[in-house]
Amino acid sequence: MTEAGTRRPARRTRRPDRWKVLFVGLLVAAVLGVSGWALLGSRLLVVRHVEVTGTKLLTPDRVAAAAGIRLGLPMVRLHPDDVRRRVAGLHEVASARVERHWPATVRIVVRERVPVAAYQRGGRYFQVDTGGFPVRDGTAVPDVPLLTVGAPSPTDPPTLAALRVVGELPGGLRAKVAEVSAPTVESVTLRLRGGLTIVWGSPERAGEKARLAEAVMRTPAGRGPRTIDVSSPDVITTR
């Protein structure tokens, strides 16, 4: 056989079908275009509902107004962190969470501050949480203990000591407290409805002090003390 007769035919290089490549490219562009239109331009995925949960002190309408979410805004253009910061600016709000629920709902979950005491100034009562932050104010007498300190504020140590004590009281004992005073951090005093006074001292050992105070308070009526001193739980005094 000749050399020409034994040579294998050369393999033909397959070139991609240009029309197929063009078709696939157009298909991808169409999909991206439709997706972009659905997210940004259509009326299908826009904010239609704003839900607010977790409110007791606030009304849902007030939270929604503070959130500033425009109905009809494309869901993808919503910035949850911005909304959260606006809602957290309300005095009553301790924290907030903003959730997108596709296709058209934004949910705002609020955790409110809990007032534990109130101080009076200029004829108004200012209710504060355990951190001393104002929660609400008004002229009506609140159903929380009155706070008596020199300069109530979130940075005042006696204020924080008094609020910590009230915040750590068992529910039954806390409901009986009419006033909490704290000239200093170490001299917190509780005055209960009915006239009983509990000298609490510092906020430390709160659970132990509460148990001791409640045990003494179970003394039969007419024989109980008017003052219970649990400032040093190792040596309880009454008078």
pLDDT in tens, 70-94: 999 999 999 999 999 999 999 999 9
> What pTM, to 2 d.p., does this model score?
0.74
Distance of CA 7 to the CA centre of its chain: 83
Walk me through the domains of the chain, giving residue ranges and CATH numbers.
49-112 (3.10.20.310), 117-238 (3.40.50.10960)
Tens digits of residue pLDDT in 121-152: 999 999 999 999 999 899 999 999 999 999 99
129's CB contacts (< 8 A; 6+ apart) are 94, 113, 114, 115, 116, 135, 163
Q: Cα separations (Å) of 60 from 29, 52, 83, 85? A: 43, 6, 14, 16
* CB neighbour list of residue 110: distance below 8 Å, 6 or more residues apart: 52, 53, 54, 55, 58, 63, 87, 93, 95, 96
